[in-house]
Chains A and B, each alone.
Chain A
Amino acid sequence: MENNLQIHNLSKHYKDFSLQNISIDLPCGVIMGLIGENGAGKTTTIKAILNMIKRDSGEILVFGKDNIQAEQEIKEQVSVVLDQGFFYEGVTPEEVCLVMQKIVKDFDKKKFNEYLSRFNLPKKPIKDMSRGMMVKLKLAAALARPARLLILDEPTSGLDPIVRTEILDILRDFVQDEKKSILISSHITSDLEQIADYIAFIHNGKLVFCENKDQLLNNYGLLRCDDAELNLLNKSLIIGKRKNEFNTEALVKNKQAIKDAYPQLTVDKATIDEIMLYHVRRDK
């Protein structure tokens, strides 16, 4: 499968934080969710892709080309929605369109206006818009570009479920064209459970896993048992555990194998949130 984005052993060191050996492949026609706690390294990874920060080592290829050497060529086909970073609040959508037409080759004014109508966005300045409207405006500006890769940094945080669902529908539409891909960083994992094909989990600057979402959800399970039963299991299969009043709850790998070996144990489906939570706890 052809990849729109390939990250190999990306490292970036700061005084108090390091992104270490991140390797991710994002195939065409795929939505990948980038998850992790605040400060885990999601935005740093995105910034490295966009050459906003200088990587210390590793390689980033977008559409098969080095992201620094072919930066301008790549950016013609990459659209980005950032959590922080857009036009000044006094600017109106119409002015955004005029500027984008001058900056971006083939910026589609018609498409931009269609999105404005579809999103019911007013023609007033950004400062008079709600957060949801603002995200939609950023998205309209991103989608009106002839992009093959869409990168979104926390686009749905702080939005109500209706707006979020609307945005997720648009993202699904975007990857109908199998040459296109989306990398979306979010800590609202329920959104990613709905739309992502792959999940990449970054924790403390390291990639914990980058897996197909369905395989991930099939692989991990939540085991509810007592301590004695838990001790029966191979420790390497246990990612983390939590005791409560009645029993012990543990996140386990190889759900099916455990079910087969110990039919008496109850292994439930784990959500992405739970998978993330237990991985984070294991390290604390």
Chain B
Amino acid sequence: MSGLILKDLFTQKKNLRTMLIFCLIFIGVFGFFNGQIELVTSFIIFFASILSLSAFSFDKYSSWDNYALTLPISRKTIVGARYLLVLLLICIAASIDLLLILLLAQFKTITLWELLTSIYVMMAFILILLAFSLPLIYKFGAERGRLILISLALVPFIIIQGVANAGLNLPYEQFFKFLIIFSLPFALICYGLSYNIATKIYLNKEF
């Protein structure tokens, strides 16, 4: 499994470099000058999810799966390595966010708790999106999968808008606290289920 993750990192080395440069620019422009640090932290995690999806495009481009299936690796391991890579990239992005916040705290007065919450929620949000889209990518391919991810990203906003329009009287503060606390465990459960579904799809796939 480590070999497959290493292969993905080698494949994406240029992208990782680009991501790092972008992050630095973004951090400089929005973090230090404009003070919109929430935007930066969310962006970095979102970028990690884009990288995760690119891994599928690179594989398709080089017909990697065909080659991987000639090697002594099970299909389950191939899917598992990809799911682990995605988690790894999101954790790296979250770590960069943490470092950034700690660094910023040295120069500015920031609301640390709020920022940490925003990273926590963003991680959960992205993981849930990926949990939905990864099996679809295995089923329909990377291009359509990307479209699905973007479409899915809009769903929460539509729901919130719908709730607002319906004029429902929700116990906002308590409700959101509950939502925030359980968002990441819920996301991880979804992610685990998603892995099981993706494995089943991949086991039945023909190349």
Contacts and interface: CB of A to CB of B under 8 A. Distances in A.
A102 interface: yes
Contacts of A76: 72
Contacts of A101: 3
Given A53-B206, A76-B72, A85 B6 contact: no
Interface in B20-69: 58-59, 61-67, 69
Contacts of B69: 50-52
A277 interface: no
A101 B7 CA distance: 11
B178 interface: no
Given A90-B11, A99-B3, A104 B62 contact: no
Size category, B interface: 20 to 34
Interface in A56-109: 71-72, 75-76, 78-80, 82, 84-91, 95, 98-105
**Interface residues of chain B: helix, strand, loop or mixed (majority):** helix
B100 to A, nearest CB: 28
Contact of A52 (B11, B61, B66): B66
Contacts of A151: 70
A89 B62 contact: yes
A54 interface: yes
A87 B3 contact: no
A47 interface: yes
A95 B10 contact: yes
A50 B73 CA distance: 12
A139 to B, nearest CB: 13
B3 A103 contact: yes
B74 interface: yes
A90 B58 CA distance: 10
Contacts of A89: 61-62
B3 A100 contact: yes
B10 A78 contact: no
Interface string B159-188: 000000000000000000000000000000
B11 A91 contact: yes
B3 A102 contact: yes
Interface centre among A47, A75, A76, A85 (most CB of B within 10 A): A85
A82 B11 contact: no
Interface in A257-284: none
B108 interface: no
Contacts of A98: 6, 10
A75 B62 contact: no
18 contacts: A52-B66, A54-B204, A72-B72, A85-B62, A85-B63, A86-B62, A88-B58, A88-B59, A88-B62, A89-B61, A89-B62, A90-B10, A90-B14, A95-B7, A99-B3, A99-B10, A102-B2, A102-B3
Given A88-B58, A100-B3, 5 more contacts: A47-B206, A52-B69, A85-B70, A88-B11, A95-B7
